[in-house]
Structure 1
Amino acid sequence: MEVFVDGSAGVACTWEYTSGVEVGFVDADGVERSGPLASWWAEPFALASPVRPFASFKGQENFTGEYWASTSRTHVGYESWVERDAAMALDFDPAVVALASQPFRLAWMDGKRERGHTPDYFARLLDGTGVIVDVRPENLVDKATAEVFAFTSRICEVAGWQFRYVGDLHQPYRANLRWLARYRHGRCHRAPVADRLREFFADPLPLLAGAERVGDRLAVLPVLYHLLWRHELTADLMTAPLGTGTLVHLTSGGRP
């Protein structure tokens, strides 16, 4: 998301928009911090601890837990399967280098009413850009929620961050992502097998046929899925579930 600001006067003008916005967070050292957003926007929020606990109790309708992000090698919390899938998609994104859940709480006055919002995730990209991510199924985004998301998006413009709204991931991408995430850990990487997979899949081959040309499928497939997770191999994950006949090939620019 671009920020259309021209000169120091423009910067002052845009920050004036957020002059009443307060931010509270727990920094990388576990210390609680708070104050005007304009004073803290450069904080490394991708290293922050969750600003609130992830509640778990008998009979609750939503599912909470922690997802291990291979990108940052940390656990990030989630409060629903939709949030878990969103965290997984961020972890799969090669542009994301760090990820934190519920990184801070924003508070501001809307007329005479005090409002607050805790974004679901904060991600840091390779180019240094910060990304705020809010996750909610489309059918649960009411007028009040839409207003909060719009306000948060405007704050992101001012701070030079991106804002992303994420709803339910669509099938079959969601199913493919969940499958590949099982092989995201580095323990699935075996260098000799990975080298041969890159060699054989330099040209597109059906997934299983190519794997069997490399060796025993039980030993080769975990490495193949790991390389797909790492984007060293690629396949169509959007239009059909991964299967034995899915065409797999070396990512453009990869080394055979």
Structure 2
Amino acid sequence: MDAADFWVRLVGPDGVRREGPLSVMWPVRFESGMPARSFPSYRGQRNFTGWYWSATGGGHVPYESWLERDHLMRLDFDPEVLGVGAQPFGLSWRDGELGPLTHTPDFFARRADGTSLVVDVRPDDRIGERDAVKFAGTRDACALVGWEYERVGELDPVFAANLRWLAGFRHTRVMWKDTAVALRKVFAGGAGLLAGARACGDPVQVLPVVYHLLWCRQLAVDLESSPLSASAWVTPGRVAREGGGDGDASAAAVGR
């Protein structure tokens, strides 16, 4: 199969529906479009839908489960990601054994280097035979146009808990520039999280800035080995988001 064998349906940022072969549609900025299908909500629903405010794009991105929300946070936390779209397109093709198939991936992410990532979120124990074929077909379609594809399940619980905490401080409303400058100096050689915050003032006022700088990767801490604590060792980060994580620079880049 080649890219012309896969049919793409999408909804642009203007709300207009478009479709065509993947070989023609692949350059579209899927991260800027609207969901290709609706998000159902009904009485007795077992999954939790909602909207996640993305610090990267400066807007809301919908999700269909808490697991999808966690992976949205993961993408939002990635300094290489410039924009994320949910349910970015519907993909149709003909499988040799199952016949016509359709699938809508969960997310499309655009990276700073111009590469793209398509993500499906599904726990390992919830993948049926037909689902596996759809995921494999989507992976093949992505490979044809140079997109990376991943099917992801549950996040590591420690990393997920730490990420959820830091995400609560992703907005620039908690950012105080003078405090941030002082914190970068305190943590230049590494220091305990609470000790460093106390060195810069009242922890009640300073800690939100610490967490914001950790979210923006201007400070760094081990998020995978243990839950964040007062003694967590904080060091200088990659300073990947000069804008403080407000999304302005990312939004401008996506719009180019």
Would the TM-score normalized by the shorter structure come out above 0.5? yes
Distance, in Å, in 2 between the alignment partners of 1:63 and 1:35 is 32
Instruction: For 2:5 and 2:207, locate their aligned partners in 1 and report how far apart those are by CA, in whole Å.
Output: 54
Is contact 1:54–1:65 with CA below 8 Å preserved after alignment?
no
Q: What's the counterpart of residue 247 of structure 2?
A: none
Shift of 1:164: 1.5
Mapped to 2, the partners of 1:174 and 1:252 lie a distance apart of: 21
Shift of 1:142: 2.3
In the other structure, the counterpart of 2:227 is 241
2:237 equivalent to 1:251: yes
Q: Deviations over 1:191-217 (max 9, x none)?
A: 000000000000111111110011000
Q: Is the 8 A contact 1:206 1:247 kept in 2?
A: yes
Aligned-partner Cα distance in 1 for 2:130–2:37: 21
Q: Are residues 1:197 and 2:158 paired?
A: no
Identity %: 45
Post-superposition Cα deviations, 1:53-100, rounded to whole Å, max 9, x if no partner, equal: 211222100000010111011111111111000101000000000010
Partners of 1:150 and 1:187 lie apart in 2 by 42
- Give the 5 Å matches for 1:32-47: 32-47=17-32
The TM-score normalised by the length of structure 2 is 0.90
Q: CA deviation at 1:253?
A: 7.0
Residue 117, structure 1, aligned to residue 103, structure 2 = yes
Match of 2:152 in 1: 166
Alignment of 1:47-196 (within 5 A): 47-111=32-96, 113-196=99-182
Alignment map for 1:191-230 (pairs within 5 Å): 191-230=177-216
CA distance in structure 1 between the aligned counterparts of 2:176 and 2:42, rounded to whole angstroms: 41
**For residues 242 and 183 of structure 1, what CA distance do their matches in structure 2 show?**
14
RMSD, matched Cα: 1.5
TM-score, length-scaled by structure 1: 0.90
Residue 249 (structure 2) aligns with: none
Give 1 or 2 for the bigger CA radius of gyration.
1
1:120–1:133: 8 Å Cα contact kept in structure 2?
yes
Runs of 4+ in 1 over 3 A off after TM superposition: 252-255
- The code of the aligned residue for 2:149 comes to F
Number of positions where the alignment pairs a residue of Structure 1 with one of Structure 2: 240
CA contact (8 A) 1:119 1:132 kept: yes
- Aligned to 2:37, the other structure's residue is in SS state coil
Instruction: Mark the runs of 5 or more structure 2 residues left unpaired by the alignment.
Output: 243-256
Deviation at 1:230, TM superposition (A): 0.2
Bigger RCO (CA 8 Å, 6+ sep): 2
Runs of 5+ unmatched residues, structure 1: 1-15
SS in 2 for 1:177: helix
Which stretch of structure 1 is more off in the superposition, 147-156 or 192-201? Answer: 147-156
Give, as a single letter, the amino acid of the residue that structure 2 aligns with 1:73.
G
* CA displacement 1:117-152 (0-9 Å, x = unmatched): 000000000001111011011111222222211111
Residue 170 of structure 1: CA displacement? 0.8
